[in-house]
Each structure stands twice: as C-alpha cells, then as structure tokens.
C-alpha cells in the first residue's frame, strides 16, 4: 500500500488500532488550523501487526500535545518532517505527574466544583491509569 508522503509536518505512527480517531479529535482541539490531515486506520504493521497512523502536512506537534497523545497512545512515535526528511523522532513520555491537562471524571471532585487545577499521579502506563491528587479517584483517560 502506497501512503501519501509528508513534505513538512508531523507523522504520528504506531498508534494502537482504534486510537487514531481519538488522537485526531485531540489534535483538532490544539489548533490544527488548515493543515491537511490523513488518517490511516487498521493498517498492517511489522511492530504491532495492525496500527493506526496520522499524517499532518503543515503542522508540528509541541511538547504539551505530545503529552496529551501519550495519555491515549503511550507507545506512539512522532516524526517531525522537514523537506521530506525526518529531522526529529519523538517517543512521547508520560510524566509521573500531570497538571491541568484533563478534567477529573469524578463529578464531585473539587477540581470540578470549586475550580482547583486538576493534578494526577500516573499509576500505570500500559494501560494508562491516573489517580486524582484531590479526590483519589482512579481512571483511564480514554
């Protein structure tokens, strides 16, 4: 299968099957603007057997967005492309603590009722499990 090349932009590779559209929704909230996006779902992979993949022309991922992606796909690979060459490879690292990126799903948590900035301890990476520092509720972010 021949896939569209990216000249200048980002390729997010090695997404688990079923996570491609979720990652795209997250990226849309982070100002993709008019970037051209190609999403590949359930494609063959030597490393994963099957995978999802996102190619974005004219958009470069920042560190905060990479952290967001690591919540959904902790083993993804992000390739930054310039002049059709990979200039940087990023393996997003899920930090031990996360501050303010997502809301606590416990509706009674004070981060939702009193405006505190949410903070989480990462309990596990595979699967990703977070524990709210305020209400101690544990949950998977997807």
Over residues 76-124, the pLDDT tens digits come to: 999 999 999 999 998 888 889 988 878 899 999 999 999 899 999 999 9
CA distances from 109 to 45, 66, 114, 129, 136 (A): 41, 26, 8, 17, 9
Q: Above 70 in pLDDT, residue 1?
A: no
Residue 41, pLDDT score: 95
Residue 95 and residue 67 in contact, taking contact as beta carbons nearer than 8 Å: yes
pTM over cut 0.85 = no
In this predicted structure, the answer to whether residue 3 has a pLDDT above a threshold of 70 is: no
DSSP assignment of 68-101, as one string?
A: HHHHH-TT-EEEEEETTEEEEEE-----SEEESS
For residue 60, count other CB atoms closer than 10 A to its CB.
15
* Listed residue (114, 111, 109, 113) closest to 99, CA to CA: 111
- pLDDT tens, 120-139? 999 998 889 999 999 999 99
Q: What is the pLDDT of residues 12-58, one digit of tens each?
A: 999 999 999 989 988 887 778 888 999 999 999 888 899 999 999 99
């Amino acid at each position: 299968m021949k896939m569209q090349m990216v000249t200048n932009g980002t390729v997010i590779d090695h997404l688990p099957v079923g996570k491609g559209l979720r990652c795209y929704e997250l990226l849309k909230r982070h100002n993709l603007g008019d970037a051209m996006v190609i999403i590949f779902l359930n494609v063959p992979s030597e490393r994963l057997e099957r995978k999802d993949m996102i190619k974005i022309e004219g958009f470069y991922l920042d560190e905060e967005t990479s952290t967001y992606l690591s919540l959904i796909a902790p083993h993804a690979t992000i390739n930054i492309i310039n002049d059709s060459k990979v200039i940087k490879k990023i393996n997003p690292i899920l930090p031990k603590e996360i501050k303010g990126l997502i809301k606590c799903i416990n509706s009674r948590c004070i981060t939702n009722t009193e405006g505190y900035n949410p903070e989480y301890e990462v309990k596990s990476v595979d699967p990703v499990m977070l524990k709210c520092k305020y209400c101690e509720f544990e949950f998977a972010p997807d």
